[in-house]
């Protein structure tokens, strides 16, 4: 399976978002405030229903309003006619650390030309980071 994985014993928390209806560009799936020092160890996006039109649905993870991916091509992406897991490597190493009070946002950046994917779910996993 593509994407990133975390060792279950290391996960201290998760942030999870969901949209049953077709997603729209700039749609926020979930917002999270870090309760402690932690580090992003896994990111997963998945869609059950395909989008329509040319293009991809692209997800993003923002830390205090700034993407954690410095290379746009590394953002979680799923082609319009596809379903399942988005291709999504881990965020950049220098942008994975959260401090207490940091705001993490899981959102959809862009969608195919006609309609975005539906039943989209996303999870960001964290481990304690002293």
Is 3 within a domain? no
Residue 95 CA: distances (Å) to CA of 12, 18, 24: 18, 23, 26
Is 85 within a domain? yes
Task: Note down the domain range covering 30.
Answer: 8-128
| pLDDT at residue 95, as a whole number | 79
Number of structural domains, the chain? 1
Shortest CA distance to 87 belongs to which of 54, 47, 129?
A: 47
Which helix (H) or strand (E) segment holds residue 14: the answer is strand 11-19
Is 2 within a domain? no
Is 97 within a domain? yes
Could you give the CA distance from residue 43 to residue 124 in angstroms, rounded to a whole number?
A: 5
Shortest CA distance to 44 belongs to which of 86, 106, 97?
A: 86
Mind listing the pLDDT tens digit for each residue in 27-84?
Answer: 999 999 998 899 998 899 999 999 999 999 999 999 999 999 988 889 999 999 999 9
């Amino acid at each position: 399976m593509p994407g990133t994985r975390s060792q279950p014993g290391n996960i201290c928390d998760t942030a999870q978002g969901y949209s049953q209806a077709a997603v729209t560009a700039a749609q926020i799936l979930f917002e999270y405030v870090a309760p402690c020092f932690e580090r992003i160890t896994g990111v997963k996006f998945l869609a059950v229903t395909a989008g329509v039109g040319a293009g991809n649905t692209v997800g993003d993870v923002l830390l205090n309003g700034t993407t954690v991916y410095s290379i746009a091509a590394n953002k979680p992406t799923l082609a319009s006619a596809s379903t399942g897991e988005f291709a999504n490597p881990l965020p950049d190493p220098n942008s994975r650390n959260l401090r207490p009070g940091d705001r993490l946002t899981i959102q959809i950046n862009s969608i195919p030309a006609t309609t975005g994917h539906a039943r989209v779910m996303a999870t960001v996993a964290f481990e304690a980071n002293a």
